A and B are shown apart, each in its own frame.
Chain A
Amino acid sequence: MNLLEYQAKELFQQMGIPILPSQRIDHPKDLKGLKIPYPVVLKSQVYTGGRGKAGGIRFAENTIDAIAAAQTIFHLSIKGHYPTVLLAEAKYEPDQELYLAVVLDRSQRRPLLLGSRAGGIEVQAAVRHIQQVVVDEEFSPFYARRLAIKMGLQGDLIELVSGIIEKMYRLFAEKDLDLVEINPLAVSLSGDVMALDGKVTANISALARHPDLAALREQLPRPGIGASTALPSEMRLVELNGNIGILCNGAGLAMSTLDLVNQAGGKPANFLNLGGESDYRLPPNLLQERVQQGLDWMIQNADLNVILINLVGSVVPCDQIAAVIGVYLNQRRAGQRPPLVMRLVGQNFETAKQSLAALDVPVFDQLDAAIARAVALSKG
């Protein structure tokens, strides 16, 4: 879960990482009560990069300029995203800009410290110059100094910058983050450092043990999920642009099914992962209830030509799934719902097949055959 810049900077401040005086702006008129002296910088708060190039960062010398700039930024799309909040910040002239980050390295299964002397927007052009230090054992500040030296820092800057890296690491570890990035960290000739921009990504799995971060989530719009949804948030829904609804149990199976539908020339409207067999929040022995919830959502929220259900597992026998489908079909007449195609494997398949056949629902134990039928039905 990405945080906005101003949210990231609040965390930086809590950790003692220096940031500029700043103020959150919810509406252009808020600038009349600005407590920061001019000149100021106004920055669009969006979950995407490239806002500087797009015109989402503007300078203002006085209130009139600032209000005009804020109005422009509120109406400016950054790669399709509009800000709901701006950040007003004191203007600052850095002498040097560094890049710093703490991230998890998947293959080494360890945190990784990243740093470069080419910070700011130059970092993208200078990826090869980013230095790395693996935090192999329990963190200690020498890992941060090791990075500072690798970055080519000398003298007082070694302790100064490694002090910031240490605080970033502490934040990363304390809050279970996926990423802490400062870009740029400004360094002045007088030896001050300042985090001018920052990015923090919280880990979704750990969110329930960090109520402060979970509260930030409430403030964010949830992309891709409409307001009318009644789905448990643990179910993963991905919305696309076609006309076939796909329900599966398990992420790998859902992705594979999506691929097969696409390869067969079908157009998926969405795919919904009802949860595999290892999730406490989506108990595998209650799969039939989740099928019901998933179907209800599909009917209410998507314009579909067909719904494909592919369930593979060991816990709920096929006939219990068929019973849920029977209830669902009884609640809706044929004209009020798209046709279903079922793919089931496991215990009591034959019983399930017979009861679904009586309901006119095609059911297959072969995946390819189910895909072919669903794609054919989607084309009318």
Chain B
Amino acid sequence: MSFTSDHKVLVQGITGALGVLYAPLMKAYGTQVVAGVAPGHGGQRVADIPVFDLVEQALGAVGKVDTTVIFVEPYRVLDAALEAIAAEIRQIVLITEGVPPLDMVRLARKADRVETLIVGPDSPGIIVPGQVLLGTHPPEFYTPGSVGLLSRSGTLTYEVALQLTQAGLGQSIAVGIGGDRIVGSSFQQWLQILEEDDQTDVIVLVGEIGGDSEETAARYIAEAIDKPVIAYIAGRTAPKNQPMGHAGAIIASLVAGWGTEVGTADSKIAAFKEAGIPVADRPSQISDLVKKALSSM
């Protein structure tokens, strides 16, 4: 996998409320945050990271970067990501919550054409414990190991990581793919990356109600993934047709007659069981199921 400690990272929106909070934490973890971008703040420094007005100016000064982490306000996310793509950055992490879905459609069309990996939005980003932090994960909850963790959540991902760490199960990577309805990369894309990753022995997939990404992932795992996968679904007892706080986590069928059962926990759990994937009833059960999977390898 390409996310290592010699990875060079740009932070867009470094002087905003989120960037100014997390860029120093990323740097403190050892991530090489080589530059920040914030229009109108060129020439300043944040936690000793040089700030530029434009992405192209930043790259002109510090050279190529591997990934940009974008913390700008929701309605500026599309523009910031397009600016990064124009500067030929091919891995983009979107942290901010509240990006309009049609902005993500425009970004997805562009990213597909130029083969750019997008993570998020509404995401804690990526952590490779002991190597690199690209987002908001609290590093103290993580420890290096062989569990690959994929999730639609932020703080629930931290919860699961903490319980794995406490059970003596370190992580090869944790990726929050994002809580919004339209996210840049899917569970399948990340399952494929982890299937090919030498550091990962077992995969934990943390899903939630809403949409069909877990059902699609379950079918994909049955067809294409040889490593063991453990699943957990949040929102089993959440009421229908109510927004839960993740724009994507709503059990509702927008279109008349398209079945009211789209996106329920039952449908997702059934899909995993059909694919032979163990489903944890609660976060604390995940580590037991991971140990079981590892011992039978």
Contacts and interface: CB of A to CB of B under 8 A. Distances in A.
B47 interface: no
A188 to B, nearest CB: 23
B105 A110 contact: yes
Contacts of B105: 104, 109-111
A278 B97 contact: yes
Contact of B158 (A103, A208, A313): A313
A137 B110 CA distance: 9
Interface stretch (A18-26, A59-67, A253-261): A253-261
Given A123-B257, A278-B18, 11 more contacts: A138-B109, A178-B101, A205-B247, A209-B100, A238-B238, A259-B234, A278-B96, A278-B123, A280-B74, A284-B136, A314-B140
A303 interface: no
Q: Which are the 4 A-B pairs with shortest beta-carbon distances?
A: A252-B153, A314-B138, A251-B245, A252-B156
B102 A285 contact: no
Contacts of A49: 256
Contact of A253 (B16, B141, B153, B182): B153
Given A183-B256, A252-B155, A252-B208, A109 B108 contact: yes
A205 B182 contact: no
A114 B253 CA distance: 14
Interface string A268-304: 0000010111111101110000000000000000000
B109 A104 contact: no
Contacts of A127: 257-259
User: Would you call the interface of chain B mostly helix, strand, loop, or mixed?
Assistant: loop
A348 to B, nearest CB: 12
A252 B122 CA distance: 12
A312 B158 contact: yes
Residue from B137, B152, B156 having most chain A Cβ neighbours under 10 A = B156
Contacts of A7: none
Contact of B206 (A176, A252, A254): A252
A171 interface: no
A240 interface: yes
B86 interface: no
A136 to B, nearest CB: 8
A203 B109 CA distance: 20
A283 B183 CA distance: 22
Interface in B161-193: 162-163, 179-183, 186
Interface of A: 49, 99, 101, 103-104, 106-107, 109-111, 114, 123-125, 127, 136-138, 173, 176, 178-179, 181, 183, 199, 201, 203-206, 208-209, 224, 236, 238, 240, 248-256, 258-260, 262-263, 273, 275-281, 283-285, 312-315, 345-347, 367-368
Contacts of A314: 25, 136-141, 158
Nearest to B162: A345
Contacts of B121: 278
B239 A255 contact: no
Given A106-B213, A251-B179, A280-B98, A273 B245 contact: yes
A238 B186 contact: no
Contacts of B124: 277-278
B282 A254 contact: no
B99 interface: yes
Given A106-B213, A252-B156, A263-B282, A205 B74 contact: yes
B231 interface: no
A275 B158 CA distance: 15
B140 to A, nearest CB: 7
Contact of A312 (B159, B244, B248): B159
Nearest to A122: B257
Contacts of B182: 104, 106, 109
Interface string B125-158: 0000000000011111100000000011111111
